[in-house]
Structures are given as C-alpha cells and as structure tokens.
Amino acid sequence: MRIAIVVARFNDFVTERLLAGARAGLADAGLPDGDIEVLWVPGAFEIPLAAEAVAASGRVSAVVCLGCLIKGATPHFEYISSACAHGIMAAASKTRVPISFGVLTTNSAEEALERAVEGPGNKGREAAEAALEMARLLAAVAGGGR
C-alpha cells in the first residue's frame, strides 16, 4: 500500500507538525517510509487539485490532506475553508480513492498548535489513520471481503 500526503506550506509552523504526526501514525500502522509520498502545495486552496491529481494517477491507495487555516478579520477564512473541504470531497468522489481531511480550521494559532501536538492527539495522525483504514476497507470490499 502506498499513501500520498498533500501538505500546505502556508502556516508551516503547524503543517510540519501535522506531517510529523501523519508519518508517525503510518509508521505505527506498519507502513514503511518508502511507501509514503509527500507533496507540498502553496496553501489550503491548492490541496484539492493536488489530491485529485495524485489519487487519479493510480500510484496511491489513499491521500492524506494536511493544512492549517486560522481565522482572521475578513471572510477569506470561510471561502478558503469551504472550497478546500468541498474540493477534497469532490476529489475523493471523482477518483474513488480515499482522501482524508486533516485541514485545521481554527480561531487562533494557539488552537492550531493544540491540534498538532505529538502523539495520538495530532490531527495529522488522525487523518493518516483514517486514510489507511479507508484504503484497507475499500481493498477488502473490492476483494469480496477476504
């Protein structure tokens, strides 16, 4: 099984921690580091396109999407978070490849960092575990449940 992780560079002080959590979760699940492909994109808005492209390539069993949006004083946050969430769901539906949502939408940097801690509370880890579980489920369904 091969997993892609699409990571936004924007707010990298958080997304790098989410990536570390995702890698740790996949390693704990027995996935070798060589079976993890990391793709960096500028920001959360670009995540869905990259996720769809790597999912459609046929190279991966699942995609983990990681990003961090922190609410500011303008409605920009709502537009980007909505576009990102809908785009990821559309990409998964179109490609039929599991694509998990590990994009934080928080009110502050402090809230974001609380969700990017080491260990089981890391939302990147949770997103990686969800992607892996769905990839295994779909493989079982395709194989007749064997």
Q: Is 86 an annotated catalytic residue? A: no
What is the structure's pLDDT at 143?
A: 86
Domains of the chain plus CATH, in order, are 3-142 (3.40.50.960)
3-state SS record for 65-90: EEEEEECCCCCHHHHHHHHHHHHHHH
Mean pLDDT for 74-80 is 93
Split at pLDDT 50, 70, 90, the class of 138 is: very high
CB 99 within 8 A of CB 131: yes
For 1-32, the pLDDT digits (tens) are 999 999 999 999 999 999 999 999 999 999 99
**Whole-prediction pTM value?**
0.96
Split at pLDDT 50, 70, 90, the class of 145 is: low
Q: Of residues 76, 107, 109, 121, which has the active-site annotation?
A: 76
